[in-house]
């Protein structure tokens, strides 16, 4: 029976007739009971399996009584930094503090600490010395082994060690969290829970660890960045739940961090169950006075139809978190969820999104994956689509048609991203046509990221000619439909492999396109991506070949400015970039030029002489006029 929101304080707990909670769930976000928020899914799946969960949202990390709301939980504490890594949430790529936090009531910044999972874990450990602590969420998942931390510019230890936690539940934790709860309930000590897929634990020795690959020690990683590159690629090759090996990272002769293989993907019925729980689908009412939680606006009338991504972009952490195997919900499950909100008084008739990491992936990329897993050293779409790739939009198309026919629905948008190279590989244009006809709100956002093949290769993206073919086809289909719809390309500056030469090429492309993006994403080195490994080590971990990496903040600013060369504020940076690239041919008055020469400043050189000459002439003219006026006045008096 749905009793509404889960408890957020002792009073709520007591009103349910509970004397204690099984798990106190400490989260860095506001409490939003919606399936787009990880803590909502984990707490609801525990509830569905008979466990009592109390939420402690955004506790005061300077006061250890803030995590004592329910007293000591019967089974343990769960800790999540939130839907985003707390450092990404707090800082821009230039390491400037952000002004707002969409996951906090009223969008207020500063309600969670930096490195939130670590701080919360230590806060709990100050009070409860032996109570089990299980950390999870994106922050813990991507920092589960030694990792480069961009914000401190250091190689950090596994977050398991620095947080004082006992276990990490990494990836999408529906399977592992229930197994952990069942093990604790059965009386197994948390230190003996070493057997669950999708978890990371500490070990004093390796006597009970079997079938494992031993990575370089933390000390070896710190001594040589190339060791880190090699270690990272071993991790990358073991992210698949079917073929992944157990990994061991030594920290001393008496301390090892052991990563079990990833948890198996959810079947469609299991996915349907996860999204069928009695979510309230909004933020806790206690936040109403503060103006609510801004993050709900984007997802309130959206549907998550899949998870996982076989796109394999090198700058994306999905491989380490959700994995490359696509998991989907049934049409019935999605229609049932849509029918919950299309009658909402605030629903205006627009379903904002039907997708996931990549909207148009609705099945594993090939038949063998659910038996053998994804290929370790091959990509499904890069550098070209694999010959075993199944390209089929029929199921997604049927789903969208069903959603369009629902009452109260005016339009069904797709905003979570179309993988255009996958779309171009489809010989049947039916989906492409209906995409343009029914699912675009005047402009379609796509992510070519760059136009230089040298940079695209380091990104794991298709050659630029694929994007060019896509734009041409998009234009033709819209013309046939009589629609004036545009493409909004997402572009990235300063990615590893991008020299000033490639940055200028991108600016020239935008010039020819007649387009200047309002927003540009400077490459952000977040934990557990191939691109971040390149950024830190200066090599591609797959080949160990050297990669040019723009790390100097000023150079990064120049590359970013080139993409927005029309902005007058960027003039000096663009001029400096063109000089550095030896492309002063792009400074002038011709149509192909990016910027014009700066006019001489007043008060110096030729400008000063012309200014002085002009003033002298004006002064002489003024004196002449005064003389003529005086003569006229004399004549008038005589008359």
Q: What is the pLDDT of residue 2?
A: 52
Compute the mean pLDDT over every residue in the chain, rounded to the nearest whole number. Answer: 93
Distance CA 625, CA 631 (A): 10
> Whole-model pTM above 0.85?
yes
Is the pLDDT at 614 greater than 50? The verdict is no
pLDDT-based confidence at residue 269 (cuts at 50, 70, 90): very high
Is the pLDDT at 1 greater than 90? The verdict is no
Is the pLDDT at 634 greater than 80? The verdict is no
Mean pLDDT, residues 121-132 taken together: 97
pLDDT-based confidence at residue 222 (cuts at 50, 70, 90): very high
| Residue 237 known to bind ligand | no
Q: What is the pLDDT of residue 367?
A: 86
Give the residue among 170, 174, 162, 160 at the shortest CA–CA distance from 239. Answer: 170
Instruction: Enumerate long-range contacts of 154-161, CB under 8 Å, 24 or more apart.
Output: 155/221, 155/222, 155/228, 155/536, 157/218, 157/251, 158/200, 158/249, 158/251, 158/257, 159/117, 159/118, 159/135, 160/135, 160/200, 160/201, 160/202, 160/257, 161/202, 161/251, 161/255, 161/257
The answer to whether 166 and 131 are in contact (CB under 8 A) is no
Q: What is the pLDDT of residue 204?
A: 96
Is the pLDDT at 611 greater than 60? The verdict is no
Q: In the chain, pLDDT over 90 holds for what percent of residues? A: 89
The answer to whether 228 and 221 are in contact (CB under 8 A) is yes
Nearest 5°: the CA angle 278, 279, 280 is: 115
Is the pLDDT at 621 greater than 60? The verdict is no
Q: What is the pLDDT of residue 602?
A: 57
599 compared with 121, residue with greater pLDDT: 121
| Residue 313 known to bind ligand | yes
| Residue 366 known to bind ligand | no
Is the pLDDT at 615 greater than 60? The verdict is no
Instruction: List pLDDT tens digits, range 77-87.
Output: 999 999 999 99
Is the pLDDT at 636 greater than 80? The verdict is no
DSSP state of 316: -
Nearest 5°: the CA angle 146, 148, 154 is: 105
329-345 burial by CB neighbour count: b if 16+ within 10 A, else e? beeebbeebbeebbeee
Is the pLDDT at 587 greater than 60? The verdict is yes
Mean pLDDT, residues 496-511 taken together: 97
Is the pLDDT at 492 greater than 70? The verdict is yes
The domains located in the chain, with CATH, are 10-201 (3.40.50.280), 301-437 (3.30.750.210), 442-595 (3.30.750.200)
Give the pairing type, strands 32-33 and 23-27.
Answer: unpaired
Instruction: List pLDDT tens digits, range 537-546.
Output: 999 999 999 9
What backbone phi and psi angles, to 5 degrees, belong to 148? -80, 130
Is the pLDDT at 38 greater than 80? The verdict is yes
Calculated CA dihedral for residues 52, 55, 60, 61, nearest 10 degrees: 60
Give the pairing type, strands 246-252 and 167-169.
Answer: unpaired
Is the pLDDT at 635 greater than 70? The verdict is no
Is the pLDDT at 439 greater than 70? The verdict is yes
Q: What is the pLDDT of residue 502?
A: 97
pLDDT-based confidence at residue 377 (cuts at 50, 70, 90): confident
């Amino acid at each position: 029976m749905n009793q509404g929101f889960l408890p957020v304080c002792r009073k709520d707990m007591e009103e349910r007739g509970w004397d204690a909670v099984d798990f106190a769930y400490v989260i860095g976000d506001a409490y939003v009971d919606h399936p787009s928020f990880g803590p909502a899914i984990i707490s609801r799946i525990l509830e569905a399996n008979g466990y009592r969960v109390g939420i402690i949202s955004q506790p005061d990390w300077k006061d250890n009584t803030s995590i004592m709301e329910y007293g000591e939980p019967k089974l343990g504490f769960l800790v999540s930094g939130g839907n985003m890594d707390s450092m990404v949430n707090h800082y821009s790529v230039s390491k400037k503090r952000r002004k707002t936090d969409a996951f906090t009531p009223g969008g207020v910044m500063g309600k969670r600490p930096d490195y939130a999972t670590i701080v919360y874990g230590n806060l709990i450990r100050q009070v409860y010395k032996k109570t089990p602590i299980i950390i999870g969420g994106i922050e813990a998942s991507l920092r589960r082994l030694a990792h480069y931390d961009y914000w401190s510019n250091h190689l950090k230890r596994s977050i398991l060690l620095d947080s004082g936690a006992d276990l990490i539940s990494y990836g999408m934790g529906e399977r592992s969290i229930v197994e952990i709860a069942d093990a604790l309930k059965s009386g197994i000590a948390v230190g003996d829970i070493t057997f669950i897929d999708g978890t990371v634990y500490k070990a004093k020795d390796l006597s009970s660890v079997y079938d494992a690959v031993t990575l370089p020690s933390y000390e070896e990683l710190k001594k040589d960045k190339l060791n880190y590159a090699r270690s990272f690629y071993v991790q990358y090759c073991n992210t698949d739940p079917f073929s992944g090996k157990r990994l061991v990272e030594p920290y001393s002769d008496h301390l090892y961090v052991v990563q079990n293989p990833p948890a198996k993907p959810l079947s469609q019925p299991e996915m349907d169950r996860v999204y069928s729980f009695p979510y309230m689908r909004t933020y806790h009412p206690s936040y109403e006075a503060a103006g609510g939680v801004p993050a709900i606006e984007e997802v309130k009338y959206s549907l998550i139809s899949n998870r996982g991504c076989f796109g394999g972009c090198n700058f994306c952490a999905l491989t380490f978190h959700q994995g490359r195997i696509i998991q989907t919900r049934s049409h019935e499950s999605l229609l049932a969820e849509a029918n919950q909100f299309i009658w909402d008084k605030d629903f205006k008739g627009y379903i904002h999104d039907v997708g996931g990491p990549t909207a148009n992936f609705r099945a594993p990329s090939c038949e063998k994956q659910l038996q053998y897993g994804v290929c370790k050293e091959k990509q499904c779409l890069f550098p070209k689509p694999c010959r075993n790739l199944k390209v089929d939009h029929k199921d997604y198309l049927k789903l969208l048609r069903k959603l369009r026919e629902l009452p109260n629905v005016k339009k069904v948008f797709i905003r979570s991203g179309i993988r255009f190279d996958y779309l171009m590989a489809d010989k049947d244009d039916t989906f492409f046509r209906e995409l343009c006809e029914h699912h675009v709100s005047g402009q379609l956002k796509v992510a070519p990221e760059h136009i230089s093949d040298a940079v695209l290769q380091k990104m794991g993206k298709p050659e630029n000619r694929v994007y060019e073919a896509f734009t041409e086809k998009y234009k033709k289909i819209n013309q046939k439909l009589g629609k004036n719809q545009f493409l909004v390309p997402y572009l990235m500056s300063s990615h590893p492999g991008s020299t000033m030469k490639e940055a200028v090429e991108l600016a020239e492309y935008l010039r020819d396109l007649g387009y200047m993006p309002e927003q540009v994403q400077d490459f952000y080195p977040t934990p557990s991506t191939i691109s971040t490994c390149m950024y830190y080590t200066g090599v591609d971990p797959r080949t160990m070949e050297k990669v040019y990496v723009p790390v100097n903040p000023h150079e990064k600013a120049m590359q970013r400015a080139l993409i927005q060369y029309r902005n007058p504020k960027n003039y000096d940076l663009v001029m400096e970039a063109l000089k550095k690239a030896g492309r002063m041919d792009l400074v002038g008055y011709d149509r192909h030029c990016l910027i014009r020469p700066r006019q001489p400043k007043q008060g110096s050189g030729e400008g000063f002489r012309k200014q002085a000459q002009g003033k002298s002439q004006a002064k002489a003219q003024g004196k002449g006029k005064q003389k003529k006026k005086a003569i006229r006045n004399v004549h008038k008096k005589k008359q």
